[in-house]
Structure 1
Amino acid sequence: MSARLRPTSLPWSVYEHLAMVVGLVSLAVICLAWLPLALALRPVLRGDIGQRLGRLAIMRGFQLYLQVLRGLCACRFDIEAIDALRDQGPMVIAANHPSLLDAVLITSRLPNAVCVMKAEVMENPLFGAGARMAGYVRNDPPLHMVLECRSALRHGAQVLIFPESTRTPGYPANPVNPLSRTAAIIAARAGVPVQTLIVEFSSPYLGKGWPLHRAPRLPLHCRVRLGRRFDPPRDPRAFTTELEAHLRAELAGPKTS
């Protein structure tokens, strides 16, 4: 880094704000570019073909977005470990949730991932059409969510869920929220394993309570690594306790910096 442009300098602060704008605008442009195609193709390409195309388009779009963040916004991503899951068949992928970027990082590496999303995100005009084409699942009503996830798993998809149900408040001091039993119930109903992912950020950027207009502290480092893989749960309550203990243990060490 040049001696004239250090993280504590005014020019660097200006750059951080510009990088934030570039990142947000880039994501909006990528989503808007896919929106009319998703609206046009979804009625024509029904079933598995349309869903797989939708998931692949999201993966490629997010890969492009991350390239922009790497090239223009001083972001560094260590997420290649996720690639090992691509050909390992149906599973529930359970990750901690420190930032809005988590799902972007994970789905950028998995061509057949199905995200469990909040209902309001599914209804968002920017993201909704693409998410529906990809066969993503609303998180309510709960029974419908479980049945939809089980169907996706039976058709070979990998279901991505954040068992905290919301972003982690107070990250990184508070590494993980208490978990819901949703991941355990889905995996038990479908008879599939649960693969954990450990998500680490150098900053709580876009975490719980972080406003969109607040610039990140750059450079931003993000890492996603594989955690433990659990057998299909038999007792969702006991399994959830074990899953939470595993995530807390994995996140107790030094954070990405």
Structure 2
Amino acid sequence: MRRRLPVVYEYFCLYAGLGSLGLMCLAWSPFAALLYLLLPEATGRRVGRLAITLVFRSYIWQLSALGACRFDIRELDALRDQGPMILAPNHPCLLDAVMVISRLPNVACIMKAALLKNIFLGGGARLARYIPNEKPLQMVYAACDDLARGSQLLIFPEGTRTVRAPVNPILPSVALIARRAKVPVQTIIIETDSAYLAKGWPLFRRPAMPIHYRIRLGRRFDPPKDASVFSAELESYFAEELARAQFVPPPFPAAAADASAA
């Protein structure tokens, strides 16, 4: 049973954590935008990705120090020096990318194109050469190029946060990139006991705290030959792994209502 923090303190943790992350991103974004213009592409990519890793790692540390969240994400460290691969986690909440990138400093992230114009995230994402998802074919080519340079690629196979427990239908983009780039697909299993920042959860809605997050490394798949067969196999694998999860989020009705906006 979770021993909840006092409600007033939960509000403090919520606003202190989000405020701190917002300030760090806002402070870095204009410098990142300037460095994007000044630095060679390869140098900018390294600087940008390392900076985002440090910002996210600081945020994770703050949430842990406040007692708002308890993170068990150390298994990710084993991937740091294992070369190019696709990192394919399930996607229960908005913190998923934050947790993964906080441990791995050479990750190319596929992200919503609109975020490149975001005042908080745009400058840093451009400097890090994150890949927008608005044009699927260009996204695939850019992802393969980044993998060829030795990066690891973070992509959520569900395409959006989970709205159909335990996992959404898997999109073919992971298989297409892995097949073209000839790299393995490393599954990552993310567990949580909260619906905080699930699909449809308002940013400033207070969750019950502390929230538990656990990340474990799943099966590593060889580059697939058939995208549809691989997508079905991946969906089945995630469902099996999440069925034995230590932490399971409660149902969040707003997620289902928001599914059409995915």
TM over 0.5: yes
Corresponding residue for residue 220 of structure 1: 211
* Equivalent pair of 1:169/1:209 in contact (CA under 8 Å): no
Corresponding residue for residue 101 of structure 2: 107
Q: Distance in 1 between matches of 2:81 and 2:231?
A: 26
Q: Distance in 1 between matches of 2:236 and 2:160?
A: 18
Q: Distance in 1 between matches of 2:110 and 2:163?
A: 20
Corresponding residue for residue 188 of structure 1: 179
Matched, 1:235 2:223: no
Q: Which has the higher helix share?
A: 2
Task: Give 3-state SS (helix, strand or coil) of 2:37's partner.
Answer: coil
Residue 32 of structure 1: CA displacement? 1.2
Corresponding residue for residue 33 of structure 1: 27
* Equivalent pair of 1:114/1:136 in contact (CA under 8 Å): yes
Q: Distance in 2 between matches of 1:82 and 1:254?
A: 17
Matched, 1:58 2:47: no
Residue 155 of structure 1: CA displacement? 0.3
Offset from partner CA, 1:11-51 (integer Å, 9 cap, x none): 81121111111111011011012112101111111221110
Q: Distance in 1 between matches of 2:95 and 2:67?
A: 14
The size of the alignment, in residue pairs, is: 246
Q: Distance in 2 between matches of 1:113 and 1:220?
A: 26
Aligned partner (choices 56, 79, 101) of residue 85 of structure 1 = 79
Counting only pairs closer than 5 Å after superposition, residues 18-29 of structure 1 correspond to structure 2 as 18-29=12-23
Corresponding residue for residue 140 of structure 2: 146
Residue 256 of structure 1: CA displacement? 2.0
* Equivalent pair of 1:20/1:73 in contact (CA under 8 Å): no
Matched, 1:134 2:121: no
Residue 73 of structure 1: CA displacement? 4.3
Task: Give 3-state SS (helix, strand or coil) of 1:251's partner.
Answer: helix
TM-score, length-scaled by structure 1: 0.93
Offset from partner CA, 1:171-204 (integer Å, 9 cap, x none): xxx1210110011101111010000000111101
Residue 254 of structure 1: CA displacement? 3.7
Q: Distance in 2 between matches of 1:180 and 1:164?
A: 6
Identity of aligned residues (%): 52
Corresponding residue for residue 247 of structure 1: 238
